[in-house]
Amino acid sequence: MFETPTHTDPYGPPPTPSYTPQPDPVMVTHVPRPQIQSKHTLWRELLETLLLIAAIYAFVNLATARFVVDGHSMLPNFNTGQFIIVNRLSYILGQPRRGDVVVFHYPLQPDRDFIKRVIGLPGERVTILDGRVYIDGHLLEEPYIENFCRGKSCDGEWEIGPNEFFMLGDNRGASKDSQDFGPVNRKYLVGRAFLRYWPPKDWGLIEHWSYDEVHGAPLPTLTPTYTPTPSPTPTKLPPPSGPQDLNQPPTPTPTWPPYAGWYGDED
């Protein structure tokens, strides 16, 4: 603060004020010095970090699964040796849809896993005729199929029950699927294929075909071919004594005199 002394000489120079330094009111005093954390705090932070990593790892394993494609049943869309990630939450939070590529446990041997495509949904009738799929009598267009199965061995008809799904491989002529073991119950589904991550050249999200409704061509009506059955021709039976010429009179049966056979007299 400044102190201005009083003076009586109005013509003289004013006296020089005296300055007394005062502490800055903004200055903070008694600031605590930085201290090194204790070992207990470091161990606690390390433990919390490890628990966070474990929780994230457990959630990732709960929500996803990793599989390797083995076989040629999904050609040309999936090759053997490819590694994929499957989203388990897809069918916990939602319903399987037609066209989804899914992984499921083989119903006849649950320790084996198959990768196929969802074709038939619960309550539908699936018909395969000349290798083409019909849903409730309407053709299912499948642009992801390169070669359709040919021959009567590929044909059949199935009724899909509640909580069941009809699974087919994209390589229809060389796929073990619902044509062999029937519809798959939902309890065997693992999840929806999500990501292909190996080999690096095949890395990317997996595409699923989407069907809103099936409005394809109607199922052809098969007209059975009538083959007349020929009428059987009656066959004339030969007489009891053996075969004879039917145009000749019957041969009379000889009559032997009494006791003739005992002495050899047969005339």
User: What residues in the chain have per-residue pLDDT under 50?
Assistant: 1-3, 242, 259-267
At 30 the pLDDT is 60
Task: Give me the pLDDT at residue 2, please.
Answer: 45
- Calculate Rg over the CA atoms of the chain: 48
**57, two tokens:** 């790892």
Catalytic: which of 90, 116, 175, 178? 116
CA pair distance 224, 197, nearest whole angstrom: 51
- Residue pair 91/187 in contact (Cβ under 8 Å)? The answer is no
Ordered domains of the chain (ranges, CATH): 66-205 (2.10.109.10)
The verdict on whether 116 is a catalytic residue reads yes
Q: State the pLDDT at residue 263.
A: 38
| Alpha-carbon gap, residue 106 to 20, rounded angstroms | 94
Query: What per-residue confidence (pLDDT) applies to 264?
Result: 42
Catalytically annotated residue among 73, 90, 175, 178: 73
- Read off the pLDDT of residues 82-107 as tens digits, 9 standing for 90 and up: 999 999 999 998 999 999 999 999 99
Rounded CA separation 166/145 (Å): 16
The pLDDT assigned to 58 comes to 84
Q: Fill in the amino acid letter for 22.
A: Q
CA atoms within a 13 Å half-sphere pointing along the CA-CB vector of 132: 15
Active site residue 153: no
Note the pLDDT of residue 104: 98
Please report which helix (H) or strand (E) contains residue 54, including its range.
helix 39-63
Q: What is the pLDDT of residue 260?
A: 44
Say what the pTM is: 0.66
